[in-house]
Amino acid sequence: MNFKNFKINFKNKRDLIPQVITVVFILLVIAYFTMNAQNNMGNRGISFGYGFLSQESSFDIQFSLIDYDGSHSYARAFLVGLLNTILVSVIGIFFATILGVTIGISRLSQNYLISKTAEWYVEIFRNIPLILQIFFWYFAALRALPLPENSINFYDISYLNVKGWYVPKFIWTNFNIFLYSIIAAFVVIFSLNRYAKKRRDESGKQIPTLLISLAILFILPFLTFLIGGVSLTFGIPELEQLSTTVFVYKNGVSIIPELISLALALSMYTATFIAENVRAGILGVSKGQKEAAASIGLTKGQILKLVVMPQALRIIIPPTTNQYLNLTKNSSLAAAIAYPDIVLVFAGTALMQTGRAIEIISITMFTYLSLSLSISVFMNWYNKKMAIKEK
């Protein structure tokens, strides 16, 4: 490839000049910035280096999925922030997808009320900036919740108050065996589906894969309870009085209001875009497909599953993956409401305590960049795969 370009360039000297100028210009700009930065840092006595990452961080983080306190390093603080970002993104993606698909399909419903309601939902939540929605949920709605001693009570096992949503804690023994059983169940289901597809392609006979898959998904993990030594108890949140007016809940798991408002706002906002994508996808399958499928005797459910959805998915998936990426990037707004994600913890607190602006921001941007690039690569691969199938 290189040689070919080289040859062509040689032939076309006119093409060489603008390229050289562009490259030189870019190099000059980079050199200018670097020189200024070095000069400025030298003047101020600031050093440059990533060694600070192994230093003790000295600050605690409110919510962390892994073990962390101030005696751990900045690198571990970064990891905590990253995991929190991934957590809120996964929760957001999950709910946004469910909500978005529901609303997208509702918009196509024959029922006037339902389609209008869905339409207004999309119009309202799409046109209000996400940051305002986050502010509303966090500062207005969740702050209005009652104090712990007057919590909203859900059947005495879960409590909602201004400090968070307290749910029972899952206390496992031998959790890894349970995990393996779930992984094994997925492997079996996957192979089963492949086998069923092959059999259907060859002989036209169908196996009720959905029922069998569900059965496997329930039975295998259940077996681990009976014979695998796995057991599960629940830690129910209990009200504890620390002082005359201070109450906390112990024994349960608290889902902090920062996480709730962020996940809520992200889901509701992104769901509008996913709904539009789903609607475009289903509308994009030409009517002739449905008619042809009906004319060969497929039932409505079969038409949906075998003819409409595969084609609709091809239209739906690329923009929806884009929306997932947007959701992950939008989760950086957590910095505005004290949810300890990567921007607040690393590009916020750590930056302020160490002053290493360039290093920290470069790491943060690199993290987001690798995330989006990997999703872009996946999308390109998916597009190519789908394109070949289309022929």
DSSP 48-102: --SGGGGSB-----S--SS---TTSBHHHHHHHHHHHHHHHHHHHHHHHHHHHHH
Beta carbon nearer to other proteins, 162 or 188: 162
Select from 346, 144, 130 the least CA-distant residue to 257.
Answer: 144
Query: Which residues 250-269 are close enough to bind other proteins by CB under 8 A?
Result: 250, 257
239 is a site residue for other proteins (CB under 8 A): no
- Residue 139 touches other proteins, criterion: CB under 8 A: yes
Tokens read off for 199: 């059999």
Q: Does 242 bind other proteins (CB under 8 A)?
A: yes
Binding mask 354-373 for other proteins (x = CB under 8 A): xx-xx--x--xx--xx-xxx
> How far from 80 is each of 75, 186, 202, 343, CA to CA, in Å?
9, 29, 50, 11
Site track 153-182 with other proteins (rule: CB under 8 A), x = hit: ---------xx-------------------
DSSP symbol at 334: G
Q: Residue 244 interacts with other proteins (CB under 8 A)? A: yes
DSSP strand pairing (158-161 vs 152-154): antiparallel
Residue 223 or 377: the one with the smaller Cβ distance to other proteins is 377
Q: Residues 304-331, buried b or exposed e (16+ Cβ, 10 A)?
A: eeebbeebbebbbbebbbbbbbbbbebb
Q: Which of residues 27-86 bind other proteins (CB under 8 A)?
A: 28-29, 31-33, 35-37, 39-41, 43-46, 58-62, 69-70
From 108-116, 259-267, 302-310, 312-320, give the range in contact with other proteins by CB under 8 A.
Answer: 108-116
Q: Is 238 in the site for other proteins (CB under 8 A)?
A: no
Contacts to other proteins from residues 1-30, by CB under 8 A: 5, 14-15, 17-26, 28-29
Least distance to other proteins, CB of residue 54, Å: 15
Contact criterion met (CB below 8 Å) for 142 and 278: no
- Binding of residue 110 to other proteins (CB under 8 A): yes
> E strands of 222-308, at which residues?
231-235, 238-241, 247-250, 252-255
For residue 146, give the DSSP letter.
P
Query: Using the rule CB under 8 A, is 112 a contact of other proteins?
Result: yes
197 near other proteins, rule: CB under 8 A: no
The answer to whether 337 and 260 are in contact (CB under 8 A) is: no
- 292 touches other proteins (CB under 8 A): no
CB closer to other proteins, 9 vs 231: 9
Nearest distance from C-beta of residue 129 to other proteins, angstroms:
4
